[in-house]
Homo-oligomer: A and B are copies of this chain.
Amino acid sequence: MSDVTFPSRVSVREVGPRDGLQNEDPISTDAKVELIDALGRTGVRRIEALSFVHPKAIPQMADADEVWEKVTRDPGIRYSALVPNLRGAERALAAGFTELEVVVSASDTHNQRNINRTTEESLAQLPSLVSAVHEAGGTLQLIVSTAWGCPYEGDVPVDRVLWVVSRGLSAGVDSLVYGDTTGMATPPRVTRLVGATRSSHPDVALGLHFHNTRGTGLANVYAALELGIDDFDASVGGLGGCPYAPGASGNIATEELVYLLEDMGIDTGIDLRAMIGVAQLAEQLVGRKLDSQVLRAGPAVR
């Protein structure tokens, strides 16, 4: 609506090197380093670089320490790492990360199939995880996955998501991200969940992580911008796809997000053409055609 005030700046977190590559066939250590370094030259200020998980669970991240040693770290960029548990957090902290993330699914069935625990069991480990991270001077973000729906259970009630959030905030997590794990969010669902969250927790730092699995990715971003959300995840080239629907899209593509925001006059600090260049690189590195419209079509006027 014309009477809405949009944010003047948006903070984009590039998740291609972690969330993206975790859902692609494994690529070499050097290729991962090349991708992170190339992203570092686009102007993006936050990169989810790695996850510290058991190599048997996620072989794509088995060389996390080596990748991190080789990356040309830009002091102007905040790099973060995903950790599944205390052991992972210790590895991430030892490697020098200070921004850590942990994922808990709002849907029990999804949490069980993803990490073989109930949501309650995952939540129960949060206090000790927060303590360990805070003692080391770091921050821990809670990513609530299946926040807008679960591929096994269908709708996930807003109250269930808010219950996970309350437990996380009680445990002391520093910020929150809602993940649309399989692309079930639509604008009214975004408005409903963000509104309810603001009512219960007006001051929480909230980012949104959308997938484009059913084409609604940027529509959801637009609805969130209308609500003043200024923190979004995206994956260069849409790297990663959707593990639940082979051939379908996963994360929204960073260059599509930047294209939309730039046209709206919203600053991201990211150079669109440079990001399209990295999307082209990402296609070469993973050896498949990525699902990004802006990658195919380019900026509006050639």
Residues of A within 8 A of B (CB): 1-2, 4, 149, 151, 154, 182-184, 186-189, 191-192, 195, 212-219, 221-223, 226-227, 242, 245, 247-249, 252-253, 256, 259-260, 263-265, 292-294, 296-298, 300-302
Given A1-B1, A186-B263, A195-B2, the answer on whether A248 and B297 have CB atoms closer than 8 Å is yes
Cβ–Cβ contact A189 & B154, under 8 A: no
Is A264 a contact of B187 with CB atoms below 8 Å? yes
A213 to B299, CA, bound (A): 10
Say which residue of B4, B151, B189, B226 sits within 8 Å of A302 (CB atoms). Answer: B151
What are 17 A-B pairs with beta-carbon distances under 8 A?
A: A149-B301, A154-B300, A182-B297, A183-B300, A213-B297, A215-B256, A215-B294, A216-B259, A218-B219, A219-B219, A219-B221, A245-B296, A245-B297, A247-B296, A248-B293, A249-B293, A249-B296
Per CB-CB distance, the 4 closest pairs between chain A and chain B, nearest first, are A248-B297, A215-B256, A215-B293, A248-B296
Would you call B2 and A1 a contact (CB within 8 A)? no
| A268 to B: closest C-beta gap in Å | 14
B259 with A215: CB separation less than 8 A? yes
Known: A188-B264, A215-B218, A216-B218. 5 other contacts (CB 8 A): A2-B195, A182-B297, A187-B264, A213-B297, A249-B296
Q: How far is the CA of A149 from the CA of B221 in the complex (A)?
A: 22
Beta-carbon contact of B219 and A293 below 8 Å:
no
> For A214, A256, A263, which residue has the most chain B Cβ atoms within 10 angstroms?
A214
A294 CB contacts on chain B under 8 angstroms = 214-215
Q: How far is the CA of A33 from the CA of B56 in the complex (A)?
A: 53
Assess whether B264 is in contact with A214, with CB atoms less than 8 Å apart. Answer: no
**Closest CB-CB distance, A255 to chain B, in whole Å?**
9
